A and B are shown apart, each in its own frame.
Chain A
């Protein structure tokens, strides 16, 4: 029996404990039954007493190496610090992954007869109802973005913070997609587009302008998925350019994090900014200011104007070593 199973709790009890005994819940893992499905959650952070209405952050993870034991959580860096602001941070683990020890990607999309999206929807709504936070932020990177987008639209006014989002199942790495459908939807074609219960493109719904969310989308410009994932997602969100203050794509080049990986501190800084930005207007500008405040200036590399004394010494060492070797 895992630790998560040992701490089964109802959403009502956990919400009460978050308020009454916050220090006992911080960093703890619980299993909450929702719609008949056990969903592991980890309380990453919780505000001190008297700040129960602080912003609430939901975190969805991406793919995980199954060498790690289930359950998995992302977002341990999203804790409040003295220079940021209090918040409740709840990380969710995809219960789809409990169906097989080899499954690395589940998109929080469930399986035949296992309605994970419905269970997560009920759970998030219950948390929001019980905690009554001043603001809701939903965040995740990679394939976690699929769940973020699936559920943020059910939380009116929530803020979405994404990193290298992969909202389209069928446009992901094909062997992983096939593995998921073969294991979880046997008898169906191995494509989300052919399984009515699975949403292929979680960003598509946001072409509906009545959905009132705000977006910060962090893109590493060297992410190899950008053209099949983030680009069509931005097209779906494109109607929101009429309200440009509600969508902020941030494209960076990070040579040290080339590809799909993303510097975790960058995402953390934007989550901090989403927690801290003042209400109610010009939030994106405020976010940018907060992010810049949270970020660190990178030192410029000094240009050498003369030979490095160390290089001169090493050259002399090399000559001596060569002379010795040849005598």
Chain B
């Protein structure tokens, strides 16, 4: 028999041995090793699913950065509702690579923009992170003040982190026609006014996402040469799409593009890793069991399994048993969820 390239490959290379003949909770060899030591300062950002990663890393004893802690005396529930302790900075969910790049450029002074302020019922919101202030603020200048403090914190974070875990969530976004800035939520959904003459729907393609990641990576490394990145893709389907497609097809498109871009970018950079949380939750072998009854949000069992697998691929990091706060009790904060109310 002649030799062929599949001869001698490990079991993880074959669907039958790696998936079909195994209990899905006994998967082995999923994910490539990720270097992380207990001394590494870890930051998280991304879409809603990234909140789980930050929560679990903190509970596991990682040196997790929180550069915008809540004011003294706030309960954990109130703090999270106002965007504190959700990520390493109070940026809210960063769904797209464009949003990540935009924040980094503004925080480091590479771009200078006037704050975009949305109004709702006499209250004022930071349009670039509208979920962090659930009731907005009394005056526009309050929003400006908080944004300035926020950008300074983000700049320090970019300078100090050793590892940034970023979860790519969406390709669909809303872009201001004049400035090119993108928003995490469409104007009019949380606050602000929707004006079709000034705002464009954008569905980022693979090339655009690669460009965003390349630009962000270059900016980060220029300020912080030791920084590394871990990319994941959120398995959470779109709440709604403005693409004109069925939301299922739009979700598949969005996640496929993000998955391809994240994998390609990691393959091209030694200091960037990809972790397959998307695959774990959405695999046919999981048969949807990791989703709640909305078939969208990921249940605790799914998060547990993703994080168990995540910790198994870390080189140089042994997680503590979770203690103190019950991490299963933390509510996720999602602007995108606001679109639910328009489903009728």
Q: Which positions in A face B, CB cutoff 8 Å?
A: 171-175, 221-224, 226-228, 253, 255-256, 258-260, 306-308, 310-312, 314-319, 321-323, 325-326
Task: Produce 1/0 per residue, B73-98, CB < 8 A to A.
Answer: 01000100110000000000000000
Name the contact of B82 in the complex, choosing from A255, A314, A326 (C-beta under 8 A). Answer: A314
Give Cα distance in the complex from A308 to B121, angstroms: 13
B322 an interface residue at 8 Å Cβ cutoff?
no
Contact A228 B293 (CB under 8 A): no
Q: How large, as a class, is the contact surface on chain B? A: 35 or more
Q: Is B111 an interface residue (CB 8 A)?
A: no
CA distance A321 to B137 in the complex (A): 14
Complex CA–CA separation, A6 to B145 (angstroms): 72
Cβ of A224 and Cβ of B24 under 8 Å apart? Answer: yes
Q: Answer whether residue B134 sits at the interface, using C-beta atoms and an 8 A cutoff.
A: yes
Q: A226-B289, A258-B301 are in contact. Are A308 and B134 (CB under 8 A)?
A: yes
Chain A residues near B81 (CB, 8 Å)? Answer: 311
Residues in B neighbouring A311, C-beta threshold 8 A:
81-82, 133-135
B299 lies within 8 A of chain A by Cβ: yes
Q: How far is the CB of A67 from chain B (nearest CB, A)?
A: 12
Offer 28 A-B interface pairs, CB within 8 angstroms, sorted by A: A173-B23, A174-B23, A174-B26, A222-B289, A222-B299, A222-B301, A224-B24, A224-B301, A228-B23, A253-B293, A255-B292, A255-B299, A255-B300, A259-B300, A306-B121, A308-B135, A311-B135, A312-B123, A314-B78, A314-B82, A314-B135, A315-B133, A315-B136, A315-B137, A315-B142, A318-B146, A319-B138, A321-B71
Cβ contact within 8 Å between B289 and A223 = yes
A255 to B299: give the CA distance in the assembly, Å.
7
A-B contact count (CB 8 A): 94
Chain A residue with the shortest CB-CB distance to B121? A307
Residues on B facing A (Cβ under 8 Å): 22-26, 71, 74, 78, 81-82, 121, 123, 133-138, 142, 145-146, 149, 286-287, 289-293, 299-302, 304-305, 328
Whether B300 contacts A258 by the Cβ 8 Å rule is yes
The chain B residue with its CB closest to the CB of A259 is B301
**How far, in angstroms, from A326 to B304 measured CA to CA in the complex?**
41
Q: How far is the CA of A11 from the CA of B145 in the complex (A)?
A: 78
B contact residues around A322 at 8 Å (CB): 145-146, 149
**Of the residues A228, A260, A310, contact of B301 by C-beta under 8 Å:** A260
Of A175, A255, A256, A314, the most chain B CB neighbours within 10 A belong to: A314
The residue in chain A whose Cβ has the minimal distance to the Cβ of B285 is A227
In angstroms, Cα B135 to Cα A255, docked, is 28
Complexed CA–CA distance, A252 and B212 (Å): 43
Note all chain B residues with C-beta closer than 8 A to A173.
23, 25-26
